[in-house]
Amino acid sequence: MKSFPENIENVKKRVEKLRREIEYHNYRYYTLNDPVITDYEYDMLLKELIDLEKKYPQFASKTSPTQRIGAKILDSFQSVRHPFFMYSLDNAYSMNEILEYDRKIRRILNTSNDSNLEYVCELKIDGLSIRLRYEKGELALAATRGDGRVGEDVTENVKTIRTIPLILQKPVDVDVRGEIYMPYEEFKRLNSVRQQQELPLFANPRNAAAGTLRQLDTTEVAKRHLDSFIYSLEFPERHDVKTQWEALNYMHELGFKVNRESKLVHDFEEMKDYFDRYEKLRDSLSYPIDGVVIKVNDFAIQASLGFTAKSPRWAIAYKFPAEQVRTRITDVTIQVGRTGTLTPVAHLEPVKLAGTTVKRASLHNFDYVKERDIRIGDIVLVEKAGEIIPQVIKPIKSERKGTERPIEIPKSCPVCHGKVGKLDEKDVAIRCLNPYCPAKLEGWIEHFASRKAMDIRGLGNKLVSKLVKKGILKDPGDVYELDVETLSKIEKMGEKSAKNLLDQIERSKKATFSKVINALGIPMVGEGTARLLGERFHDISELLNASEEQLMQIEGIGEKVAKSIVEFFSLPQTKRMIDKLISHGVTCSKESSDLNNPKPLKDLRFVITGTLSRPRDEIKERLVELGAVVTNTVSSKTNYIIVGENPGNKLTKANNLGIKTLDESELEKLISELSSKNLQT
């Protein structure tokens, strides 16, 4: 290894040179799959850079290759407004639809079938969309698509993805779009690890990639080896690029990983050949695809074709049909999920499907079973949802012999034998209604610790699972009986981590009364109903002794919800849990939380519609803290409707009812005015 240069200017030059070299070798190794140095030589370059950055911290950089290992715990993801709308694509599901699409484009352009209209066919990667912005060749921002206008800043997590360059091969300002995905091998490895840890498995690589990118622990993201393909160059005129084919090559030259299976085609027959080829090859690829994207090649023609409200007219996605097989249902068992959902699972005569032997398949829910009249003993069609989870599509009724049996809804929970039913009329799922069902315990405590409840940071699903399995947590009240000695014995939980968690648990005791009610996990009581209860009742004792009649007098609480609340508080286990919470000093009354806070928006009802500059939940939470009621439905009782970009039908209804509209600046002005009046009185 080279000795450190003493001259500070030489140090700076050496650091910059090392970064360029390492990024170049990352490009050769991860993008081109053509390394030109050995692993040892690469490791020595990286080690030298790490040592230099430690010795000379003034030369640290957010885009240094040393940032790829992930070393930050993020508090949250910030919202990002995109400088252009990130459209989604229209889908086609047959060759006839693609043929009609080609004819439609030619009609619009008034060109014949033998003209020089070109398309680019690209594999449709089954991942999640990402926008990257580079300034002077350095990664400045990575943002998710979100709703197309507002996404989330995931830059720190994206830095861990080796195929996304931190420094480009040219020092240009550029915006690109692409797809982040999880390769099949990594997906299998990750699920294997989760299975060993008795954690829920990811349904498919797309869900695994999305879940990984939204991890707050960047170290965990780095461990999961996400990958990328970049497919779109924004503002191509700034780079003197005139076609999609040129854009793919230009982005490749900059150092991005571009899918080299793309092809330039000139007519429907060439498109069809491309589709047929990759429909057959899809299972042999190392990454998930669910179709092909067709784009008009020429950017000038793209501009003339323009966009619909949701999609570009110059592109369409052809989705591959799912592979299906026939087999017989031999039996059905019921699984109870972490939220108490009862899921019927079909046991099948073993059959080969998409390269694996399938013995069980999801039936989703009992409404799904009833709608399709699926029975035990039926010959059924089975396919893999998202290429991973087998599901029963429909029975072949013509092959019934009269011995098939209906699939009945259980009269009680198969785990705890408690009551089952729907939480409300809109609920599709049949659930175990016993809050103390062992199958629900982990999910219940996770809900208790979640941000909208007690907000205990550090008490995540992995730790909850370990504490439940060891019998340390039997209900949420036990959270407040944890100590350093107990936590330090948990795998990967040292004394420092234990103390940090206990600090968070102590802080949570000051949660507002309505958040405590929400955290209890009362069946049929969500965040909104918990808030109504927190406003109506003075303390937990008063709520615990409330009758159904008293509860039904609260606007927004009906007979079923009232009955569920009374039943929950009548259980001896509930009373024991509440005694634990009170004994440990958890806020169980309004005195210490809600009474002294100013409520300038008290009794005002708001509805939100359209895309705002901040996440809707954030705005809703602030309004609620100020005393407002936020609903999803416009009615004559609504006082204000907050309007963002692309508002929906709620605005039309509000205008018809003469309800006052507010944009974000007007909302702030209203809050300020009412707060001033509140202080004066």
The two tokens of residue 233 are 């160059």
Residue 370 bears catalytic tag: no
Distance CA 23, CA 15 (A): 12
Residues 6+ apart with CB under 8 A from 45: 18, 21, 22, 25
Residue 191 neighbours by CB distance under 10 Å: 18
| Nearest to 45, CA basis, from 71, 26, 70 | 26
Q: What is the per-residue DSSP string for 15-59?
A: HHHHHHHHHHHHIIIIISS--SS-HHHHHHHHHHHHHHHHH-GGG
Q: What is the per-residue DSSP string for 545-579?
A: T--HHHHHTSTT--HHHHHHHHHHHHSHHHHHHHH
Task: List residues bridging with 317 in a β-sheet.
Answer: 91, 293
Identified catalytic residue from 54, 124, 223, 352? 124
Task: List residues bridging with 174 in a β-sheet.
Answer: 134
The two tokens of residue 170 are 């040219």
Count how many Cα atoms sit within 13 Å of the Cα of residue 22 in the half-sphere of its side chain. 24
Quote the crossing angle between the two packed helices 559-570 and 572-583, to the nearest 10°: 70
Residue 578 neighbours by CB distance under 10 Å: 20
| Nearest to 511, CA basis, from 615, 588, 412 | 588
Residue 87's alpha-carbon distances to 110, 115, 198, 679, in angstroms, are 25, 28, 38, 46
| Amino acid present at 123 | L
Phi-psi region of 389 (alpha: psi -120 to 50; beta: other; left: phi over 0): beta
Report which DSSP code applies to 147: T
End-to-end CA distance of the chain: 73
Distance CA 591, CA 501 (A): 26
Task: List residues bridging with 152 in a β-sheet.
Answer: 79
Distance CA 243, CA 333 (A): 55
| Nearest to 183, CA basis, from 289, 275, 274 | 289
Residues 6+ apart with CB under 8 A from 133: 139, 140, 141, 142, 143, 174, 175
Q: Decide: 229 and 178 in contact? Cβ < 8 Å.
A: yes
In what helix (H) or strand (E) does residue 336 lie, and over which residues does it extend? strand 324-336
Residue 492 neighbours by CB distance under 10 Å: 8
In what helix (H) or strand (E) does residue 346 lie, and over which residues does it extend? strand 342-353
Distance CA 590, CA 542 (A): 11
Rg of the Cα atoms in the chain: 29
Distance CA 162, CA 35 (A): 14
Residues 6+ apart with CB under 8 A from 154: 77, 130, 142, 143, 144, 213, 214
Q: Percent helix, strand, coil in the chain (nearest 5)?
A: 40, 20, 40
What residues act catalytically?
Answer: 124
